Structure formats: C-alpha cells, structure tokens
Structure 1
Amino acid sequence: MIKKVSIPISGKTFKNNANYCVGTGRMALALQKEYIDHLEVVQNAIHFRYIRGHGIFSDDFGIYREYEIDGKTSIFYNFTYLDRVMDTYLENGIRPFIELGFMPEKLKTGEQTVFYWKGNVTPPVSYEKWADLISNTLTHLIERYGRDEVITWPIEVWNEPNIIFWAGTMEEYFKLYKYSAEAVKSVDPRIQVGGPSICGIDTEHWLRSFFEHCIDNNLPLDFITRHCYTANEPTQNGHYMHHTLNKPTHMVEELKETRRIMSDYPQIAALPLHITEFNSSYFPICPVHDTDFHAAYIARILSEAGEYADSYSYWTFSDVFEEWDVPKSVFHGGFGLVALNSIKKPTFYAFEFFSNAGSELLYRDENLIVTKNDEKYVIIGWNFHDLRDHKTSSDVSYVLSLPSIGKQALIIKKDVGGANANPMKTWSNMGKPRSLSKEQLKILKASSEPLQTDAKLIEQNGNYEVEVTIPCNHLCMLEITPVNDMTDTYLGYEPDEFYGI
C-alpha cells in the first residue's frame, strides 16, 4: 500500500535533541588511541555537544590519593589523567556531562564492585572527604579551563543507585546527593547539578521519594536524570546475551510517565529531563546493536523523544568499552555507534541523519518525518521489522507532495540496510574473522557506507512529487535543495545527443 501525503508549507518546531549528548564507558578509556579515533569519527559527522561516562573518581583515573607520613594522613589530588581526557574532549568539540562516581579505594566502605574493571559502588567512609574531592576537582577544572567554560558542564550525582551500582540504601543515596550537590554549588552556584540517575526499576517510588527529599530539604536540583532501555529479560547463550525487545515507543511512554510524575511537583515540573543513558539492550554483548534492524528501531525513538526529554544520550558512541571484559572481535554486540577499527555501524547513521534534520517539523508518523531548514527539506524514513513477531515483511511506501522551493531541485537519498552500510553482514560473509587483515578492514570500511543516489526534481503546479520506499529494516535520508540551473551557459554541451548517454 502506498501512502499519499500532502506536506504543509509550514509546521512546528522539531524538538530534536539527538546530538545533545552521547555516552561512553569509563572515562579512562579516553586514554586509548582507538577511542580518540572513534571520537573524531562521530564528531566529524554527528557533532555531539556533551559526553557522559563512568569512573571519574575510580582509581584507574587516579585523582584521589592518600599518603601517610610520620603517622599523619595527607590527601593529594592527582589531575594528570583528568586533564589529558578533558583536553581530548574539548579539542574534539565536545564537553563533559560529568557523572560523579565511583568510589575511590581510600574512601570506600566495602568491597562491592561492578564490571570487569571493578568500579567500587559503596558509600564513602567520610562524606566530608567525598565533598572535598568534588569541590577540589571542580576548582581545578575552573583554574585550567576557565569559569565561563566549566559552568556549562552539567553534573549528575552517581549512576543507577536503584540497582547494583549503589551498595547503600535509598536514604544513603539521598545523603550522597546532598553532600555532592552542595559541594558543586559551593564552587559556583551556576553549575547545574541533578539526579537521581535511576534505571527503569521501581521508577515512580524512587522519583517521588527523591523529589520530596530535595523539596523538603531545600537541596539544589537543576535537572532530572534517568535511564531508558527497551529490552526484556535477557537469555545468555555462550558469549552473548539476547533479548526480546519492546516496541521503541516503550521508551516514549517511559518519558511520558516521568513527565507525568514531575508535573505533580510545581518545583520540579518545568525542570529539564535528561536521559543520560538509553539503548535497546543493556548488555554490551548483544548482537542486536550491530544490525541494520537496530538503526531503524532507534530512528523511531529519535523521531519523538525530544517532545518529552531535553536530551537522550545513546549508550555508547564507541565499542572501545570493557564492562564485560575486552571485546572479543570487531562485531561482538557492543553498544557503540562505531565498531572496533573505526567501522561505522548502521545505527551511526540514525544519529548522523537526525543531526542533519531541519528545525521545522512538517510531518511525522510511525515511519517518516519531513523537516525543513531554511530552503532545504530533510526527510528521514525507517522500517524496522522483527520477523519473530511477523513472519513476513513488507516495504513502506509514500508519495509525498511538497511545496516547491524552486523550479528545479536536487534530491539526494542515502540508504542504510540490507547490502548497504551493513558491515556486520559483510563480516559474516567473510566467515566472522576474530582479527582483521588490512584487506578485510578495507572491505569492511567500504561496506559501512550508505548507498547514495540522486535525481532531478521539477516543480509541477507549485509542488514536488517525491516517491519514498523503505524496505524492511532499512533507514534512509532524503535531502532536497533548490538548484540554480546553469546548463544554458554551456554552449554545445550535448553528450546525450553525441554519445547516447
């Protein structure tokens, strides 16, 4: 079935926050060359504004140190790696969205850790020392990068305290939040601080309790954070985790729920809502992350999430990531938009396409948006399809009538899916090599690029007629720009007549 749509001449603001923030693994990964290579790849194409990761206070970053001399304990703050990483971020046009965590070895109260790299998740032995660690770190950053710069860096207190990433109680997290937020504001009251950074477990209880605690105790709270994943319970099979997935609109419903809860509190209702992690699966060993299906699936979320959230940070930009051990192969189910060896995955293009979208939204449905920016149309379409739910698949087809922006226009289409921009499929055709030769890497990088086609559009009765067909598990972007046709200035240029082309 072909859907015929007449696009209006004007629309509403497209609330598109797709490139506001992106996630990374622990911050010490930014000391690796390949990580920096991947950051350059995403920044050249997508231009994320902020980056958020774990472990700023973990021992592999080396900030908090204690030494005993003559029976007296002295505290020393070592900012060598912090400076190196922040320099890297700023040189690549991206600012930190700082997550305060995890616990330094010398401040821990227990042995509970998470991940391959053993981030300690216990409360501090001294909340005063924890607060001093925060204030001294921020003061150093201001001295190095300037106050006007650092006050633009949002700060989130901890990561997912409602599950295994916090060994304390809810009340202990609230205490951690109080000391942390007040330490931030003591450095500069203009620095924005927020939480509670929960994932989707016991959501309403945690949010309401947190809001009421902050209101009752007059605590600083500039924005709300939470995480969203759309996967159901996992099944482990060998080296991999697999899930069934909810529809992508499951995340949109979670955002609506969060806004509904926030609206019950006048002091909270208008605050920004930042989704500081989102994805489908919450395991970095789930093959769905590498597929063309996933690009179309995530595109559906990007098309609407901005109506309810001020940012939604994809977890993560790179497969340089070690939560579940060192990656075992180039495609291993990692979270990243970029696979090892700087190979772009299909989902990379969901973010690139949305970063190019116009600021004016003219049309949106379950498979397509039409946007406009100045004198240019950007159309993004997607068609995700899980064959386990429906044994047959079908294309999604449109005929769009768009108001003309010139007598003649160029339409460029980029297509992702199937044989295009689908390097995992090429890797499978190669026999899934564990290590890549130079020739294999060259082939995979070439296979990761979208198919680009173009055509001429001629105005008819003040409109363009554009046909868009989106095959199963494909993602596409069409850009329409007016053309100043100078053909008549090329005297005698008639290759079609003389050469039959």
Structure 2
Amino acid sequence: MRTLAAGLLALSLSSRPGLAQSMPTPQPMPTPVSITVDLAHPVGPAHPLYAWFGYDEANYTTMRDGRALLTELHDLAPVPVHIRTHHLLSSGDGVAALKWSSTNVYSEDAAGNPVYDFHILDGIFDAYRDAGVVPMVELGFTPKALVSGAGPYEDVYPDAAIGGTVHSPPKDYTKWRALIRTVVAHLADRYGRQTVAGWYFEVWNEPDIPYWHGTPAQYFQLYDTTVAAVRSVLPQAKVGGPATTGPGGASGAQFLKDFLDHVAATRAPLDFISFHAKGQPTIQDGQVTMGLAQELTDVDKGFALIAGHPEFRSLPIILSEADPEGCAACSMTVNPANAYRNGALYPAYTAAAYKRLFELADRHGVNLLAMLSWSFEFEGRAYFEGFRDLSTNGVDKPILNFFRMAAMLRGTRVATAGPQSHTAADIIAHGVRDAPDIDALATADARGAAVMVWNYHDEAKPAGGTPVALTITGLPKTAARVRLSHYRIDDRHSNAYTAWQAMGSPQNPTPAQLAELKGQAGLQLMESPRWLAPSGGTVPLTLDMPRQSVSLLALDW
C-alpha cells in the first residue's frame, strides 16, 4: 500500500502544470572530511592557556557588568583565571574612558612629599579577590607627579590614544622605587604575602612603541629598578616583561632581543617572558578577511628569539595580549572589519589559533604558559557595538563560549589527523585562504576525553557546511559505555548575536527580550547527551560543521 500511495502521489504532482519542473534538483552531498583522534597517542600537556584575560579600562572592574563578568570568568575554568589591566598607577579620578583608567594611588604635597591613596586600587583588587580571580599586576604607568615628559598627561581616544605623558619615564627613580615598594607592600599586607608572592608582576606595556615615551635603555633602567623594588619587599615574587608588541614586526623583534641580551648581561631578575601577538584583519567590498597568519608569525618569531637564549628557554612565556588584531576599544563604527567580533567567526578563529600555539611551542621547545585575550567588557555602551569584548551589557557574546569549551580540554593532548588540517607553517605562509581549516584539538585523562572540532576560514563570506567523519580510537578497555555531550557554537547555537539580530537588533530590549538573549548567550548543547558503545576501543561520529563553527565533544566513562 505504501508503494502504491507513493506512486499515486508522484503521478498527481507530475500532472500539475509546471510543478514538477519547479521542484529543486537534489544536490550531491559534500564528501565528508575524515578526522581521526587517537586517545592512546599523547603528544604533550594541555596547559590551560585560555584562562587569562585583560583590558585597558581598569575602572570597569568595579562596575556592575564588570563584577558580573569577573565571576563568570572564574566560574568557566577549573584552574585560576588571571586578569591583567593597564593604568594601575596612573593619576586621575577613577572614571573610565575608552583606553583610559586611573587609580590616583600616588601624588605629592606642596613640598614634594609622597601622598598615597589606595581606595581606588583597593576597590579593583578587592573585586578580583571577591570574584576569585588572580591579578597579573602590570606595573604602569607613571603618576602625574613623576612624569618626565611635557604636554597633556592623559590619553584621549582616538585623538591621542597613547599620547599622554603618563607614558613617559619617571623623572625621579628614587621616588619610583619607593612607589613600587609601597604598592607591593600594601598589596602583601592587604591580601597576604604568600598570596601576592604567587602573582605575576609585569613591568610596563609595549615599550617598543609610544606606550613608552623613552628609549630602550631607559626602559631597561625602569625594568631593573622596578623588579629590584618588588623583590626587596617579596623576595620570592615572580617578575618579568617586557610585554613588547609582536615580534613579527621589526620593533617588537628587536626590542625583545635587546631585552633578553640585557637581562643575560646584567643578570637582572627574570621569572617569565611576555610579548604580544596580533592578527591583521582587512575589509574589502564590505567583506572581512582575517589575518591569522600574522598572529602566528608573531608567536613563531618570538619563540625563536627566546629559544635562541638557552638560559631562558625553560622560562614561562606569557602572551600577555594575543588577539585577532590590536585595538579592543575600536568598535565596528570606527573600523567596519571589527564586526567579526560579534558572531561565530571570532571563536572559530580563536580555536584555529589555539591549536597552533601548542604546535609552535612544541616545535621550538619553549614553555608556553598563557594566551591572554585582551578582551573584557565596555560598560554602558550600545549592544553589539563591535568592541573586542566578551560580553555586551551583561549579555555574553559567542567568543566567551569558546573559552568555556577550552576549559573542557584537560589532561594530555593527543594525536589528531585529517586531510584539511593546516599546519602552523602552512598558515604562516598562506593564511587560510583556499580550503578551510577543518581540524581538531583533543585531550584525554583517566576519566574522559574532549575533542574540539572547527570549520574555519579567514574569509567571512557565506559558504556551505561540511560533514565531518570523526573517528575516536584508543578508548580504554574499561570504557564499555561512553557518554557523549556535544556543545556547539555557530549561527544558531551559543550565539546571542544572531538572536539579537532576529529580534530586529533592539538597543533597548524589553525584559522578555533580554531574558531570551541571556538564554541564548551561554554554551549550548547541539543535542541531548547520549551513551555510545565503543567497538574495539573506537567510536565513529558524524558531524555537520557549518563554516565558522566550533564543536566540543565531551566524553566520559
């Protein structure tokens, strides 16, 4: 009866004038891309590189959305989350502006005697303590009473974003040394010497460009003076720098090399090395093309410089800013290419970058500790304005869900292989401009495994999805039943931005709309968790991966 009914229906449809001709011709299914994960083949430790964040505007820390986001960052990770901010020593009223903040911790009376006021700085560090996150203390910039430069003190974005004398060398190093000693002693007294000794103290930010209105030699003097002052209070404190711009550029590379040569010659304290790595997106005819090659070039060149100094090769490396481009406070109204920050392209880019950071560290034999995302939130700005932030008016953006996924990667990295996986060298040479990067990063421990899979392309233009035939091998014999939880970031999952667009992009969402946005903002399951029965230690899975999507497959047994 079913066969007859089907035949009659087909005859009925074909007999209607024009209907048969209007029915779409079935398109061939794309050939699946095969990816193999071997849980029994370890390739290296899975350091939690992801658990580091930073921002220019330190005063956002104590505001409503800033406090809420700090708690979210703490809660996403099973390891300590570190926070780095600019302007911890800058003078001012404590009111944040784009690329500006202040604490007014140091001033002087009419006789030139120091006056300390810790109430703004304490508010910032108390918020870190209350949220359970760990400060990475960037020691800068110069209080107004100590600046050596002439001209306006404050930075004014965008006219003089780093033009203020706040970035000039201190005019009196005796007073600077006393300032650093006093601030570190205060932190140790307030939060506990043992606690503060576990923090990372970084000297300044990007001294190879106008964040430092001085010479390299003057920075080296600043570094030596500052780390000696920190260590005089806390002999076991972890000190380092120089937080240069990307070594893929001439200034960043030369400054990092000269700094390492200086430390090697003087034996100044150095417990970690920091530099920055940034991509370079472009826009043409309204189309964004990401520049992952540039970020990986920065990392590759920086690691090579450090590996060239055998005495420093084992030191922890902190990429104290590692991002798709350089200006978090430049919204898409300033640079239309920055629209990528709102949707699924940003997390897909970060997934592709994340694996290659491990690859490059392995290749150079260096000790990569952290990839710090220079992104936080911009209090009270328009919804989805296109800043490089994790949350907009309390609504999490898709990029924050990447970090939630990354937190599920635990234990040991294991081998993955596939025909559309690009090596770091390939991406440095060519970018991801032809075939997409369809790849995986996987980890395992005694209790389970996690596999992150992505379909990434530098170009943001629309493209069809790709089926992925994922084969997970090497499951232990004890894993007779395996529970699979499949999380996804794409245009329909874990994406408050597309939900907001579907509402008509309201800048004053109703309470019901806001509740819906927050319901779409977290990390979402692609399907209900289900149990699998491995055969011979192997589980086959099929995924449909849209362009610019990321999946996290969590397996436990």
Give 4+ residue runs of structure 1 displaced > 6 Å after superposition.
233-237
Question: Could you say what secondary structure the match of 1:221 adopts?
Answer: coil
1:405-463 C-alpha deviation (Å, 9 max, x unpaired) = 42222211111111112222222223322333222211211222324412221132343
Structure 2 counterpart of 1:174, from 210, 220, 244: 220
Distance 1:236 1:62 in 2: 46
1:145 CA displacement: 1.7
- Partner in structure 2 of residue 164 of structure 1: 210
- Partner in structure 1 of residue 516 of structure 2: 443
Structure 2 counterpart of 1:339, from 392, 411, 428: 392
1:377 CA displacement: 1.6
8 Å contact from structure 2 (residues 71, 132) kept in 1: no
Aligned positions of 1:272-311 closer than 5 A: 272-284=316-328, 285=331, 286-307=338-359, 308=361, 309-311=368-370
Distance 1:232 1:171 in 2: 33
Structure 1 position 314 matched with structure 2 position 353: no
Structure 2 counterpart of 1:428, from 490, 495, 501: 501
8 Å contact from structure 2 (residues 42, 413) kept in 1: yes
8 Å contact from structure 1 (residues 161, 197) kept in 2: yes
Change (3 A) 1:236 1:78: farther
- Partner in structure 2 of residue 461 of structure 1: 536
Change (3 A) 1:231 1:86: same
Question: Could you say what secondary structure the match of 1:97 adopts?
Answer: strand
Aligned positions of 1:74-153 closer than 5 A: 74-110=113-149, 111=151, 113-116=154-157, 120-153=166-199
1:85-125 C-alpha deviation (Å, 9 max, x unpaired) = 21221222211111011111111123364354986211112
1:184-212 C-alpha deviation (Å, 9 max, x unpaired) = 12112211111111112422211111112
The two structures have a TM-score, normalised by structure 2, of 0.78
Distance 1:228 1:26 in 2: 20
Question: Could you say what secondary structure the match of 2:142 adopts?
Answer: coil
1:473 CA displacement: 0.9
Structure 1 counterpart of 2:314, from 253, 270, 289: 270
- Partner in structure 2 of residue 245 of structure 1: 290
- Partner in structure 2 of residue 481 of structure 1: 556
Change (3 A) 1:115 1:451: farther
Distance 1:4 1:166 in 2: 47
| Alignment-mate amino acid for residue 147 of structure 1 | R
Moved more, 426-435 or 195-204: 426-435
Moved more, 437-446 or 52-61: 437-446
Distance 2:310 2:467 in 1: 43
Distance 2:310 2:41 in 1: 34
Structure 1 position 352 matched with structure 2 position 427: no
Distance 2:215 2:35 in 1: 55
- Partner in structure 2 of residue 187 of structure 1: 233
Distance 2:67 2:401 in 1: 19
Change (3 A) 1:46 1:340: farther
Distance 2:391 2:458 in 1: 23
1:130-150 C-alpha deviation (Å, 9 max, x unpaired) = 111111000111112221111
Gaps of 5+ in 2: 1-30, 95-102, 332-337, 362-367, 422-438
Distance 2:505 2:197 in 1: 47
Distance 2:188 2:358 in 1: 31
Question: Could you say what secondary structure the match of 2:302 adopts?
Answer: helix
Distance 1:163 1:301 in 2: 25
- Partner in structure 2 of residue 488 of structure 1: none
Structure 2 counterpart of 1:227, from 265, 269, 276: 276
Structure 1 position 402 matched with structure 2 position 473: yes
8 Å contact from structure 2 (residues 462, 547) kept in 1: no
Distance 2:314 2:37 in 1: 35
Moved more, 88-97 or 360-369: 360-369
| Alignment-mate amino acid for residue 135 of structure 2 | P
8 Å contact from structure 1 (residues 287, 333) kept in 2: yes
8 Å contact from structure 1 (residues 396, 469) kept in 2: yes
Distance 1:6 1:311 in 2: 25
- Partner in structure 2 of residue 49 of structure 1: 81
Distance 2:36 2:413 in 1: 14
- Partner in structure 1 of residue 6 of structure 2: none
Structure 2 counterpart of 1:154, from 165, 184, 200: 200
- Partner in structure 2 of residue 214 of structure 1: 263
Output the aligned Cα RMSD: 2.5
Distance 1:139 1:357 in 2: 37
Gaps of 5+ in 1: 483-501
Question: Could you say what secondary structure the match of 1:76 adopts?
Answer: strand
Change (3 A) 1:16 1:251: farther
1:391 CA displacement: 6.9
1:233 CA displacement: 6.5
1:2-26 C-alpha deviation (Å, 9 max, x unpaired) = 3152625242333333334211333
Distance 1:243 1:108 in 2: 41
1:82 CA displacement: 1.9
8 Å contact from structure 1 (residues 426, 444) kept in 2: yes
Question: Could you say what secondary structure the match of 1:303 adopts?
Answer: helix
The count of corresponding residues between Structure 1 and Structure 2 is 466
Distance 2:313 2:536 in 1: 47
Question: Could you say what secondary structure the match of 1:304 adopts?
Answer: helix
8 Å contact from structure 2 (residues 409, 443) kept in 1: yes
Distance 1:235 1:114 in 2: 31
- Tell me the percent identity: 23
Change (3 A) 1:20 1:422: closer
8 Å contact from structure 1 (residues 22, 50) kept in 2: yes
Question: Could you say what secondary structure the match of 2:60 adopts?
Answer: helix
Distance 2:73 2:284 in 1: 31
Change (3 A) 1:211 1:233: farther
- Partner in structure 1 of residue 99 of structure 2: none
